[in-house]
Amino acid sequence: MRLDKYLKVSRLIKRRTVANEACDTGRIFVNGKQARASYDVKVGDIIEIRLGQTPLSAKVLSVQETVKKEAASELYEIIS
């Protein structure tokens, strides 16, 4: 699954266009490297989001195309 879609489905970022723009501006890192929106997310990847004052790191636990709002937090684990 593409990185921008994963960020939207997991609700780490609310809109896919915002996730796409964040990737384009270099604010999203996967496993310590700057990632493009087309990056293929895999289980075990560490995603770091640098949008606000404090960076957010999350480990990918599951990759699913569609998820209900209540189950979205089961796709990742917050590291810091």
Which residues in 1-80 belong to E strands, given as ranges? 28-30, 33-34, 46-49, 56-60, 76-78
**Backbone φ, ψ for residue 14 (5° rounding):** -70, -35
Where does residue 61 fall: left (phi above 0), alpha (psi -120 to 50 degrees), or beta otherwise?
A: alpha
Query: Which tens digits make up the pLDDT trace of 12-59?
Result: 999 999 999 999 999 999 999 999 999 999 999 999 999 888 899 999
pLDDT score, position 52: 84
Number of compact structural domains in the chain: 1
Domain with residue 72: its CATH number is: 3.10.290.10
Q: Supply the range of the domain harboring residue 9.
A: 3-78
- What pLDDT, on the 0 to 100 scale, is given for residue 80? 78
Integer Cα distance of 57 and 29 in angstroms: 9
